[in-house]
Amino acid sequence: MAISMADIEAIVAQFEKSDWRTIELVADGVELRLSKDGSAGVVCAAAPRATPTPAQGATHGAAEGAEQGAAPATDASSPPSGLVVTAPSLGTFYRAPRPGEPSFAEVGQVVAKGQELCLIEVMKLFTTVHAPSAGVVIAIHVIDGQLVEFGQPLVSIEPES
Amino acid sequence: MAAPHRLFIANRGEIALRAIETARALGVETVLGVSAADRDSLAARAATRAVVLGPAAASASYLDQRLVLHAARASGCTALYPGYGFLSERAEFAALCEAEGMIFVGPSSAQIAAVGDKLAARSLAETAGVPLTSGSPEIADVPGALIAAERIGYPVITKASAGGGGRGMVVARSADELARGFGPAAAEAAAAFGDGRLYLERYVTRARHIEVQAFGLGNGDVLHLHERDCSVQRRYQKMVEEAPAAILPDAVRAGLHRAAIALLGSIAYANAGTVEFLYDEERATFAFLEVNARIQVEHPVSEAVTGIDLVRWQLGQAMGTPQETRQRDIHCRGHAIEVRILAEDPARRFAPSPGRITRWRPPVGPGIRLDSAVAEGSMVPPYYDSMIAKLIVHAETRAGAVARLLQALGDFEVEGIATNIGFLQTLVGHRDFRENRVHTRWLEQTLLLPEAAAA
């Protein structure tokens, strides 16, 4: 069973009426995380392709991050077809395992679930970010070597259907 | 001229906003590291730039040393302001900053370590000739305790070697009480710290918490900005702070200032710091408690009476501006009182009351200062300390300050969340407080008596 945009809208409406603080849903290539206090970070719903992708990265402020968090889940015009992988913490974004080596992933590349997508470095400590689902890489939002913030979109994947 | 500095703010709330505004006045850009819960905070908007470190949990954002330092470096900052709480007194964090060439706005890591350990600080104080509470070495059993208590004099209090927070603490007024209380105290310490070792100290029945605000120049010279009385506490948490400590005889006051300077001078302390003492009102003697190697929440009362901007001094020193003020130029004028405005519900045993502030009308007027990082519409997140503002009043006399504070608290309108403002009105209006007849247990023995009985 695929989850439609109408389903997501219904979930959002219910969530708004409820006194729940956060809700997380992962099903059929859709990952939805809603929060009333921002604690769940920026995420991650359907339809990244329909979401305008601003110039990302180090220069944007906190307010902009919050807008990104709110926008996707309520955009009724876009089909729920993509996954946005976000930064697990602040850090420096690297597309390749070492300088000069090929990137983990390129736009258009097919990736398996769990495949390495990029690295986030914090004081020489590297965290690997993996694909949450098999699919095609449809966008890489950050330039190599840039500082990313927690929750910032890194890579978009069109999940395999 | 050297390249301009850029300051990373490794804190949140009012102290973050305070540092941002001070930096701006100095023409210094700021980068604020926030958690996801604070991305819309006033401080995040006020900073030149804000970066989201991690999720709401402090352990994955404000307390993650490597994350904070990485953010500071990668955002081009040259100096880091730690504020109070969080990473402000972690010697290993200061050392990490030193190793990475990041200026830590505070004392050196070695100085933090030297005063951070309870026993090390005690021996420093002893070497500097600072009076200590008469106490015993570690005590093995009841007979040993009785011998030590005879030497110290009753009443005595047992304390755990391994930690504080009230665990392992039993007050004994006689040999009989000590013999009965020793075993349970050791058991409580063992349960809390995995270490049941106890020692004894003389128990001061009516103690005041009095502390000296100091500022070290780093060359062995230390200035003092007079003292504060922070005796009104709930569960070792300060609620009201004043400057000066009006109760002190002048000779004792001078001795207190000298003691603080001697202690910090002995390690050539740099930047803002506080030396805390316990003052025994009956005997008119004081004893060393501990050193806080950072700016403190209650610093504004010292600023109010001296006219000195301590955060400006902190930043100036860290960024290489020599401090030219002399001790003889620092005077204490009038009286200042600070109360901590908390998002807590006194009717529910001070349970935190996070939520959306729907109305926020703080008092304004001469002699009134508010240090805060909330406004109407602000969300008070549930993840952090519940202090949302500090209300500071200044007047010519203590009575004038009390009257001004009562008026200001009465004018303070907050809706949407529960606060302690009503409780503070009762406290400040209490005859004991107005007449300055308080001590560290006063709050628990008067206004909080029902709570103590229920506990």
* Tens-place pLDDT, residues B156-205: 999 887 666 678 889 999 999 999 999 999 999 888 878 888 989 888 88
- Residue A57, Ramachandran bin (φ over 0: left; ψ between -120 and 50: alpha; else beta): left
Tens of pLDDT, residue by residue over B42-66, are 999 999 999 999 999 999 999 999 9
- Of B62, B69, B64, B71, nearest in space to B38 by CA: B62
pLDDT reading at A53 higher than 60: no
Residues B334-378 have pLDDT tens digits of 999 999 999 999 999 999 999 999 999 999 999 999 999 999 999
* Cα–Cα dist B420/A7, whole Å: 44
- Report yes or no: A57 at the B interface, CB cutoff 8 Å: no
Q: Between β-strands B368-372 and B387-395, what pairing exists: parallel, antiparallel or unpaired?
A: antiparallel
Q: Which residues pair with B113 in a beta bridge?
A: none
**For residue A61, what pLDDT is reported?**
37
Averaged over B405-431, what is the pLDDT? 98
C-alpha angle A16-A20-A23 in degrees, rounded to nearest 5:
85
- For B32, list phi and psi in degrees, rounded to 5: -105, 125
User: Tens of pLDDT along B366-387?
Assistant: 999 999 999 999 999 999 999 9
Which one of A59, A65, A89 has the shortest CB-CB distance to B60? A89
Backbone φ and ψ of B200, nearest 5°: -110, 145
User: Do A151 and B36 lie within an 8 Å CB cutoff?
Assistant: yes
Whether residue A59 is predicted with pLDDT greater than 50 in this model: the reply is no
Chain B partners within 8 Å of A149 (Cβ): 51-53
Tell me, what CATH number does A86's domain have? 2.40.50.100
Q: What are phi and psi of B97, to 5 degrees?
A: -60, -45
Residues B21, B23: Cα–Cα separation, whole Å = 5
Which pLDDT band holds residue B455 (cuts at 50, 70, 90)?
A: low
Taking the C-alpha atoms of residue B340 and residue B25, their distance in angstroms, rounded to an integer, is 26
CATH superfamily of B142-202: ATP-grasp fold, A domain (3.30.1490.20)
Contacts of B204 (CB under 8 A, 6+ apart): B133, B278, B280
Respond yes or no: is residue B6 known to be catalytic. no
Name the residue facing A90 among B37, B54, B381 (closest C-beta): B54
- For chain B, which residues lie within 8 Å of any Cβ of chain A, measuring from their own Cβ? 33-41, 44-45, 49-56, 60-61, 64, 66-67, 69-71, 74-75, 379, 381-383
Fold type of domain B207-454: D-amino Acid Aminotransferase; Chain A, domain 1 (3.30.470)
What's the domain range around A59? 5-159
The CATH number of B6-105 is: 3.40.50.20
- Residues of chain A with Cβ-Cβ distance to B80 below 8 Å are none
Say yes or no for a CB contact (<8 Å) between A90 and B383.
no
Q: pLDDT per residue over B223-233, tens digit each? A: 999 999 999 99
DSSP count for chain B of H helices, then E strands? 16, 22
What average pLDDT does the segment B273-284 reach? 93
- Going by their DSSP bridges, the two strands B237-243 and B335-342 should be labelled as antiparallel
Task: Report DSSP state, residue B97.
Answer: H
ipTM summary value: 0.82
pTM beyond 0.80, yes or no: yes
Query: Which tens digits make up the pLDDT trace of B208-218?
Result: 999 999 999 99
Q: Which residues pair with B271 in a beta bridge?
A: B216
**B265: pLDDT strictly greater than 70:** yes
Q: Which residue has the tokens 């008596």?
A: B449
Distance from CA of B387 to the nearest CA of A (A): 18
Give the model's pLDDT for residue B454: 59
User: Average of pLDDT values for B400-425?
Assistant: 98
User: How far, in Å, CA of A156 to CA of A48, rounded?
Assistant: 7
Strand boundaries in A28-78, DSSP class E: 30-35
pLDDT band with cut points at 50, 70 and 90 for residue A28: low
In the structure, what pLDDT confidence band is assigned to residue A14 with cuts at 50, 70 and 90? confident
Peptide bond into A99 cis (omega under 30): no
Residue A19, chain B, CB below 8 Å: the answer is: no
B444 class by beta-carbon count within 10 Å (0-12 exposed, 13-18 middle, 19+ buried): middle
Instruction: Write the Ramachandran bin of B30: left for phi over 0, alpha for psi from -120 to 50, otherwise beta.
Output: beta
The average pLDDT across B256-285 equals: 96
pLDDT band of B21, cuts 50, 70, 90: very high
Total domains, chain A? 1
| Angular region, A108: left φ>0, alpha ψ -120 to 50, beta rest | left
Residue at B287: amino acid letter: A
> Above 50 in pLDDT, residue A68?
no
Interface contact A62-B34, CB threshold 8 A: yes
Give the H/E segment covering residue B8: strand B6-9
Give the separation between CA B298 and CA B276, rounded to whole angstroms.
13
A90: its two tokens: 């602040």
For residue A66, the chain B residue with the least C-alpha distance is B39
Q: What is the pLDDT of residues B307-327, one digit of tens each?
A: 999 999 999 999 999 899 999
Half-sphere exposure (Cβ direction) of B185: Cα atoms closer than 13 Å? 30
The rounded distance, in Å, linking the Cα atoms of A43 and A33 is 6
How would you class B163 by CB atoms within 10 Å of its CB: exposed for 0-12, middle for 13-18, buried for 19 or more?
middle
Which pLDDT belongs to residue A52? 36
pLDDT score of A66 more than 50? no
Tokens of B92: 């290993």
- Predicted local distance difference test score (pLDDT) of residue A6: 64
Residues in chain B with CB shorter than 8 Å from the CB of A89 are 53-54, 60, 64, 67
Nearest to A83 by CA among A132, A13, A121: A132
Q: Which residue has the higher pLDDT, A33 or B304?
A: B304
